Amino acid sequence: MSDSQHPRNDEHATPEEPAALLRDLRAMPRVSAPLDFTEHLRRRIDEIESFQPWWKRALAWKPTWGFGIPGYAYGAVATVFLAVFAVYMFNATDVERDLRRETAPAEQRQDILHEQMEIPGDEESVGPATGSDQRDAAGTDAPARKGTQDVQPAAPIPSPSMETDASGESADDAAKQRLNSYVPAVRGIMKGEELGAIPDSIAKKDSVRILDSLKSLQKDRQRTPENDPR
Amino acid sequence: MPQTQELSLEQKVEERIEGNHLDRVSLEALSDEELMLLFQRDVRLAFDILVERFQDPLMNFIYRYTGNMDDAADVLQDTFIRVYRKKHLYKTIAKVSTWIYTIAGNLAKSELRRGHRKYTTKLVQQREENEEYTLPLSTDDPLPDRSADSSIIYERIQEALLEIPEVFREAVVLRDIQELSYEEIAEITGMPIGTVKSRISRGRIQLQELLKDIYD
Q: Which of residues 1-40 of B touch A (CB under 8 A)?
A: none
> Which residue in the set A8, A28, A40 is minimally distant from B177, CB to CB?
A28
Residue B53: pLDDT over 70: yes
More confident residue, B129 or A88: A88
Give the burial class of A181: count Cβ atoms within 10 A of its Cβ; 0-12 exposed, 13-18 middle, 19 or more buried. exposed
Pick the range with the lowest mean pLDDT from A84-98, A147-161, B84-98, B152-166. Answer: A147-161
Q: Using CA coordinates, name the residue in chain A closest to B121.
A: A31
CB B176 within 8 A of CB B145: no
Helical segments of chain B, H only: 2-19, 24-28, 32-40, 44-66, 69-85, 96-113, 123-129, 144-163, 166-172, 182-189, 193-210, 212-215
**Residue A3 confidence (pLDDT):** 43
**Residue A41 confidence (pLDDT):** 93
- For residue A8, which residues of chain B lie inside 8 Å, CB to CB? 197-198, 201
CB B64 within 8 A of CB B161: yes
- Say what percent of chain B tops pLDDT 70: 81
**Residue A113 confidence (pLDDT):** 61
Q: Which of residues 54-113 of B touch A (CB under 8 A)?
A: 55-60, 63-64, 69, 72-73, 76-77, 80-81, 84-85, 88
- Is A32–B201 a contact, with Cβ atoms under 8 angstroms apart? no
Measure in Å the smallest separation between the Cα of B151 and chain A Cα atoms. Answer: 9
**Residue B198 confidence (pLDDT):** 96
Q: Which pLDDT band, with edges at 50, 70 and 90, does B57 fall under?
A: very high
- What's the rounded mean pLDDT across residues B90-107? 91
More confident residue, B10 or A224: B10
CB A17 within 8 A of CB B212: no
Chain centroid to CA A51: 37
Q: Which pLDDT band, with edges at 50, 70 and 90, does B185 fall under?
A: very high
- For residue B150, which residues of chain A lie inside 8 Å, CB to CB? 24, 27
**Residue B13 confidence (pLDDT):** 77
> Which residue in the set A16, A25, A37 is minimally distant from B55, CB to CB?
A37
Average pLDDT score, chain A: 68
Pick the range with the lowest mean pLDDT from A45-54, A191-200, B134-143. Answer: B134-143
Give the burial class of B134: count Cβ atoms within 10 A of its Cβ; 0-12 exposed, 13-18 middle, 19 or more buried. exposed
Q: Using CA coordinates, name the residue in chain B closest to A24.
A: B154
Residue type, B172: V
ipTM of the complex: 0.76
Please write the tens of the pLDDT for every residue from B125-180. Answer: 444 444 444 444 444 444 555 566 788 899 999 999 999 999 999 999 999 999 99
Chain A: which residues have CB within 8 Å of chain B? 2-4, 6, 8-9, 11, 14, 16-18, 20-22, 24-35, 37-38, 40-42, 44-45, 48, 62, 64, 68
Q: Using CA coordinates, name the residue in chain A closest to B130.
A: A34
Helical pair B96-113 and B44-66, crossing angle rounded to 10 deg: 50
Q: Which pLDDT band, with edges at 50, 70 and 90, does A19 fall under?
A: confident
**Residue A216 confidence (pLDDT):** 87
- Is B55–A27 a contact, with Cβ atoms under 8 angstroms apart? no
**Residue A54 confidence (pLDDT):** 77
pTM for this entry: 0.54
**Residue B170 confidence (pLDDT):** 95
Please write the tens of the pLDDT for every residue from B5-39. Answer: 556 777 777 777 777 777 888 888 889 999 999 99
Please write the tens of the pLDDT for every residue from A136-192. Answer: 444 444 444 444 444 454 445 544 444 445 555 677 787 777 666 666 555 555 555
Whether the CA torsion B180, B183, B184, B185 is positive or negative: it is positive
Q: Which stretch, A134-148, B71-85, B115-129, has highest mean pLDDT?
A: B71-85
**Residue B56 confidence (pLDDT):** 95
